[in-house]
Amino acid sequence: MIEIGVIGCGYWGPNHIRNFNLLPNSRVLRCCDKDEQRLERMRGLYPTTAITKNADDLFSDERLDAIVIATPVHTHYDLARKALLSGKDVLVEKPMTHSIETSLLLIQLAREMKRILMVGHTFEYNSAVNKAKEMLDSGELGEPLYISSTRVNLGLFQPDINVCWDLAPHDISIITYLLGALPVTVNSQGKSHYKTGIEDVANMTLSYNNGVIAFIHTSWLDPKKIRQTTIVGSKKMLLYDDLETQEKIRVYDKGVNAPPYYDTYGEFHFSYRYGDIYIPRVEEYEPLRRQSEHFVHCLEERLSPKSDGYSGLRVVSVLEAASQSLKRGGQAVPVHWPEEDRDSQTPILAAGVQS
Ligand SMILES: NC(=O)c1ccc[n+]([C@@H]2O[C@H](COP(=O)([O-])OP(=O)(O)OC[C@H]3O[C@@H](n4cnc5c(N)ncnc54)[C@H](O)[C@@H]3O)[C@@H](O)[C@H]2O)c1
């Protein structure tokens, strides 16, 4: 039985508690939050899980194998560091930390302590995203030309991070996972309408070595909640709508055939293909359940998780580049990547590597 402690019982933490308590080989022994009301709610829901306001109680609890951190991003580094130092395996929510520097420190510490470090990139455990990856990898969509992602809604405004750090980690992790590569540069433009210095709407452009381009649009200031990713391939196009309950993925057999070379006259000879649209079956499974199972499996078998520390670092590297680009009015900023992991850029780390 894997014994778990969860820090942060706000919006997301209780989902971790529910899932780890439902798995046959894990349970949440203790949970922690600074907010007493939130703890009382957990006590009501999970009477066998002990509550505390002090995270140190979890670090010093010899019975706990692992700590799950579901607190705001500015607390991730400190809490994850203490958890690793106390000998616990760690699952930290996205984005892994607030900077490349602190992400690297956590990776090094996990390695020194021989502990597992996993990041909550939940969409990498999502059946629809995995279906899209399968179709991309099998060549069914052809060569990827571009990917476009939209994650917008009204609120929730965050006090300390801009909309990129709040909403885009999911899109960056999805796109990085799909393409198996990091972008070379990032351009980002955005605007703060309500709190100076904290952009509430932003666009990001990720440019890749092989000419692929990806766009991410995030906003807290939009009348409609949208969660869509479009993959345009040279053969087919795929639309993934996370808000659809049944038909999350649609594949469009649509495309353009260009003449071998064209001039002004040739342009009129493009032919457009309007083929079938089909809806592949996607397994209905809670992505967080799959992620929790993977974490427990990695702990039992001492395996490196699919969304390991490096996966977290990749997302943070893109976010840092985006923040710099925002400050420079949208200029292209190179994505910083530490030399030591250069080999694992393409293809990105295989899951289930023995640690
Ligand atoms: N993977 C996903 O799909 C997903 C979805 C939502 C949120 N998240 C991530 O989960 C994290 C938490 O987000 P949220 O929306 O639940 O935030 P939230 O503000 O609703 O909850 C955070 C909780 O942490 C508590 N907290 C803060 N510092 C603490 C400390 N030092 N010790 C104990 N408790 C502390 C706060 O009191 C609060 O109850 C963020 O990193 C967010 O990005 C991930």
Distance 317 CA to ligand 1 centre (A): 21
- 22 CB neighbour count, 10 Å cutoff: 12
Looking at the predicted structure, is the pLDDT value of residue 112 above 50? yes
Closest CA to 251 of 282, 278, 224, 232: 278
Q: Which ligand 1 atom minimizes the distance to the CA of 69?
A: 11
Query: Mean pLDDT of all residues in the chain?
Result: 92
Whether the Cβ atoms of residue 322 and residue 168 lie closer than 8 Å to each other: yes
Q: What atom of ligand 1 comes closest to residue 53's alpha carbon? A: 33
pLDDT of residue 270: 80
Tell me if 348 CB under 6 Å of ligand 1: no
Atom of ligand 1 at shortest range from CA of 122? 1
| 254 against 86, higher pLDDT | 86
173 lines ligand 1 (CB under 6 A): no
Average pLDDT on 125-147 reads 97
Report residue 222's pLDDT band, with 50, 70 and 90 as the boundaries: very high
By alpha-carbon position, which residue is closest to atom 5 of ligand 1? 12
Tell me the pLDDT band of 313, cut-offs 50, 70 and 90. very high
Tokens of 276: 């079938």
Q: Of the candidates 143, 99, 95, which has an alpha carbon nearest to the alpha carbon of residue 122?
A: 95
- Ligand 1 site, residue 38, Cβ cutoff 6 A: yes
At residue 341, the pLDDT reads: 54
Please name every residue paired with 323 in a beta bridge, in sequence order, or none if there are none. Answer: none
Please give the model's pTM, rounded to 2 decimal places. 0.93
The alpha carbon of 191 and the centre of ligand 1 are apart by a number of angstroms equal to 25
Predicted local distance difference test score (pLDDT) of residue 259: 74
Residue matched to tokens 């640690």:
355
**Per-residue pLDDT at 226 exceeds 80:** yes
The pLDDT value given to residue 345: 42
Between the alpha carbon of residue 92 and those of residues 51, 75, 79, 95, 312, the distances in Å are 19, 10, 9, 8, 9
**Looking at residues 323-338, what average pLDDT do you find?**
92
Percent of the chain residues past pLDDT 70, beyond the cut: 92
Kindly state the percentage of the chain with pLDDT values over 90.
85
- For residue 262, the model assigns a pLDDT of 59
Q: Is the pLDDT of residue 263 over 90?
A: no
Q: What is the mean pLDDT of residues 156-178?
A: 95
Probe ligand 1: pick from 71, 75, 227, max atoms within 8 Å of CB? 71
Q: Distances in Å between the alpha carbon of 185 and those of 62, 164, 211, 322, 345?
A: 45, 16, 11, 9, 14
Pocket test for ligand 1, best of 6, 7, 11, 37 (most atoms within 8 A of CB): 11
Taking alpha carbons only, the member of 139, 138, 230, 121 closest to residue 176 is 121
Q: Does the beta carbon of 34 sit less than 6 angstroms from any atom of ligand 1?
A: yes
Q: How many angstroms separate the alpha carbon of residue 270 from the centre of ligand 1?
A: 51
Q: Kindly calculate the radius of gyration of the chain based on its CA atoms and give it in whole angstroms.
A: 21
Q: Count the Cβ atoms, other than its own, within 10 Å of residue 351.
A: 15
Rounded to the nearest whole angstrom, what is the distance from the C-alpha of residue 7 to the centroid of ligand 1?
Answer: 8
* pLDDT, mean of residues 65-74: 98
Which band of pLDDT confidence, cut at 50, 70 and 90, is reported for residue 336?
Answer: confident
**What are the phi and psi torsion angles at 90 (to 5°)?**
-135, 135
